[in-house]
Structure 1
């Protein structure tokens, strides 16, 4: 009997999104309640899936009861359950913030938001590379509209570049899939993992070319150097709740690299073993260095947070490039931390900009914010957490990664990672002092009255901020259980024989009986 819970992270946002698109007229409150209820249900579903996956048993859901390797399947393991839960928590914080009024700046926000969640969850759960492409396209189509939600020259300009780049990436994705299907004969991940070691010499070169095309596509999605240039402008221009949700989009690319190049082209793949690891390692270090420079040179808080995401991308990809179980477990812990904190920072920067008048998010002297205690405390916690300063969760994640490095890797990782952390501390200290200490005070109060902005950020925006930024101390408090879970997820990911048996041989055994 199939476990129908596995398909709910796709069905819940699919049906709620379609319903919200069909019922897009009228007052905003019913739409907000439906979207929030669907996202809470998604979070509950994610927690239940994590509880199921904790047993270590890999389960799959065959849509239409078409069994692998021929049918469409969704696979539940520790890693996919963790990513679905992380997505739901990030989405709930973003949606709470948006429901305070940002959702009404354009049309169809809630429907598109839910459809993007469907695409993200599908990418994390699918067990087939072609369906990974399909879910990529679903989340990208929704993201095109969400990026330009509310209009404006900056959003349309950055959105155009974002669309063109991702269309090119989709074309490369299809070409890579075609090459791999022609050489390996399947796109089911378990079946590919079983067949890849036995490829004859005539097909190895083509299979390697197809795999490297996928690495380029996933690198583009995760914003690795030199394919990062779309991210700072797009994320800085996006509406705050959208930018916060976009914090998970780079992690979709990182997840795809981790899944494909560990399961299919990992150590067991014969002549194709570990073909991405050297590229990922060196490009990750370069991305880390670039992110540190970008954070220091940013003149705008939104752009600064976007470069903090690039630092996190470099850190996560360095963990993949280190190619060890300890490193993979550490990067999964760090992924949870950085996704929630950078998402919360986008929301926090928007709240600060709303109270600074004409200065907005620019790192210049401007009107003081109205809620100095609340926003200042949240900025202080988020800045220390994202920079990796103890005792916050960023320090735990980076310490785990540094400990996982071999002596040869430490010579490169330690100075570059710690230098990027120092750059983040310097840049965020400058931003915080400019925004909160060098404010011009009460001289612009007339501007506040004329702007029509309500005082304070309101309960819903505060709730969204607390859900995401408040996760940092909780990640420290529960660092033991969470790191144990991520280490178990890394062990399970590396056990490709267990994955193949769970997907292919279990079905054959059931068919024989």
Structure 2
């Protein structure tokens, strides 16, 4: 029986990672919803609420095990192509499992499991259908990371965005309604631009399969190549909006600060969807072997990323609330990640991927910690102003110190290791001085901003206590924050094997021949694109295939 289940999973692993949260969400909708209950920890009297929580948590834990299996399978270097309906690419829809997609799915569930556990402490009862929406978002995230087609990337974007619209408003409140309106309008505008970029690419290539696009874009010349470059920049705007890249980051601090703690923590992975999409398009399609459209975003991506990192750190330094400070740290971390991506070398990409794991885990944990501290500060909440002393100053102080050290990049935590990897990988590149200066200055600003917040929360106290003393944190809520701390420590202890995995991931992404052979079965098309890692010191090479030639077409049987 176990062998049959394992064989079934091995055969259908990519699609099962999308179907599991989809079917869970539909099952939760069929169970119904007992309505919102007031107060943290409400809703326990409803027997169906317990059933919903058990089903939801069991699905996330199963999804986590499946994600571990995806990484284990991808670690061998195998490219798994799942053809839906047995229609071959590029005509049919395919899911592609490689090292990068497996890593991002595992990161998604690594964040989702502690967040959902925290939400079952009462946040899930403050609105309707929290668990169903949670799993629809997991469906969109998993699909976005696994799809091999740009149009289906758009479809999964819309799935996760629609779920995020409602999750953002979960629990209601004036600030959430106001920021939710901004969030919806901006993302609808981004979706419109996404379709325009896809139409431009389809018009000059006749395909939206990512691997097939990479082959065809490399053959474009003249006006067609210019249109492809324009489409690349349009997609950079779209994904830059999702990732919160300057100047498109202004929506994120207020939105994340207004969201409930578990929703904001889950949203820590949302910006990484934008980062992932930039990697897929500007490395796989418009990468070094992209012909006349090669590295279309190179002159834009690195300066914008460095600027994003600096402005995010300055925003955290000037923030007037803890949640807004953590939101600005999210922006700053995205800038550091995209700086590694924008240098366009396998070494810098590997460092950026390691830092992605660290920043996502730490930011998610900080959002939960902020609410734990705010709940004990009376009417001040998470505002950075004097308030009553927290009931658990030692426990929360140590957790704050650990989170601050991780976010600032102090040794020996993974934030330090990730930044060190970025600095080392950029050595010898033309932009080394800029990268080093920005990373070091941003680290200093981050330390100052977090130290300022810690001093205000734990030392600037009101002389008279409030009438009702806040209660301490429940073990259930604390354990979710501790889970993120444990993941942070694990990332530091396992830094060597994780770095080997990210190194292999970066090298796999530049191996266009292997992708073409696995997805399209094109030996000829693959051979025309020899892997030549870009060292950051030369112009993008012209396509090694003559412009007049075209890749062989696959015909329907």
Q: Tell me how far apart the structure 2 counterparts of residues 110 and 286 of structure 1 sit (CA, whole Å).
A: 37
* 1:414-425 correspondence runs (5 A): 414-425=436-447
Establish whether residue 302 from structure 1 lines up as the match of residue 323 from structure 2. yes
Q: Deviations over 1:84-130 (max 9, x none)?
A: 00000100111111110111111111100100010011000000000
Equivalent residue, structure 2, for 1:196: 217
Task: Quote how far apart the aligned CAs of 1:446 are.
Answer: 2.8
Work out whether 1:426 is the aligned partner of 2:448.
yes
Aligned equivalent of 1:436: 458
1:129 and 2:137 are equivalent in the alignment: no
Shift of 1:22: 2.4
Q: Within 5 A, what are the aligned runs for 1:44-443?
A: 44-407=65-428, 408-440=430-462, 443=464
1:460 lines up with 2:481 in the alignment: no
Indicate conservation of the 8 Å contact 1:196/1:272, yes or no: yes
TM-superposed deviation, 1:479: 0.3
Query: Which stretches of structure 1, 4 residues or longer, exceed 3 Å deviation after superposition?
Result: 510-513
Secondary structure, counterpart of 1:61 in structure 2? strand
Q: What is the rounded CA distance, in whole Å, between the counterparts of 1:37 and 1:255 in structure 2?
A: 27
SS of equivalent to 1:199: coil
Query: Are residues 1:9 and 2:17 paired?
Result: yes
Over residues 216-238 of structure 1, what are the superposed CA-to-partner deviations in whole Å (9 max), with x where a residue is unaligned?
Answer: 10000000000001000000000
Consecutive unaligned residues in structure 2, runs of 5 or more: 1-7, 35-45, 524-551
- Match 2:505 to one of 476, 489, 502: 489
Say which SS state the counterpart of residue 82 (structure 2) adopts: strand
Residues 337, 393 of structure 1: 8 Å contact kept: yes
Q: Would you say how many aligned residue pairs link Structure 1 and Structure 2?
A: 507
Cα deviation, residue 200, structure 1: 3.2
Say whether the 8 Å CA contact 2:268–2:364 is kept in structure 1: yes
SS of residue matched to 1:3 = helix
Cα drift, residue 83 of structure 1: 0.2
Equivalent residue, structure 2, for 1:505: 521
Cross-structure match for 1:475: 491
**Do the aligned partners of 1:345 and 1:469 also contact (CA within 8 Å) in 2?**
no
The 8 Å contact of residues 24 and 135 in structure 2, kept in 1 or not, is answered as: yes
Please report how far the alpha carbon of residue 445 of structure 1 lies from its aligned counterpart in structure 2 after TM superposition: 5.4
TM-superposed deviation, 1:482: 0.5
User: 5+ residue gaps in structure 1?
Assistant: none
Deviation of the 1:166 alpha carbon: 0.3
Contact conserved, 1:292 with 1:419, CA < 8 A, in 2? Answer: no
Give the Å deviation of 1:410: 1.9
Root-mean-square deviation (CA, aligned residues, Å) is 1.9
Per-residue displacement from partner, 1:141-177 (whole Å, max 9, x unpaired)?
0000000101100000000000000000000000110
Asked whether the equivalents of residues 341 and 349 of structure 2 are also in contact (C-alpha less than 8 Å), the reply is yes
Mapped to 2, the partners of 1:473 and 1:163 lie a distance apart of: 36
Counterparts of 1:442-453 in structure 2, within 5 Å, are: 443-444=464-465, 446-448=467-469
Q: For residue 495 of structure 1, report the CA deviation from its aligned partner.
A: 0.8
Post-superposition offset of 1:36: 0.7
Aligned partner of residue 248 in structure 1, secondary structure: helix
The CA distance in 2 between the partners of 1:506 and 1:59, in whole Å, is 16
Is contact 2:221–2:292 with CA below 8 Å preserved after alignment?
no
TM-superposed deviation, 1:67: 1.3
Per-residue Cα deviation, 1:256-288 (whole angstroms, up to 9, x for no partner): 001111111100111011111221001011111
Q: Distance in 2 between matches of 1:378 and 1:29?
A: 30
Please tell me whether the aligned partners of residues 193 and 234 of structure 2 are also in contact (alpha carbons under 8 angstroms): yes
User: CA-to-partner distance for each residue in 1:287-308, whole Å, 9 max, x for gaps?
Assistant: 1111121011101000000000
- Whole-angstrom CA distance in 1 between matches of 2:555 and 2:482: 50
**Contact 1:277–1:320 (CA<8 Å) still a contact in 2?**
no
1:163 is paired with a residue of what secondary structure?
helix
3-state DSSP class of the match of 1:444? coil
For the Cα contact (< 8 Å) 2:286–2:296, is it kept in 1? yes
The answer to whether the 8 Å contact 2:33/2:128 transfers is no
TM-score by length of 1: 0.96
For the 8 Å contact 1:291–1:311, the answer to whether it is kept is yes
State the distance in 2 between where 1:100 and 1:295 align. Answer: 29
Q: Distance in 2 between matches of 1:212 and 1:366?
A: 47
Distance 2:87 2:307 in 1: 44
The CA deviation at 1:440 is: 3.5
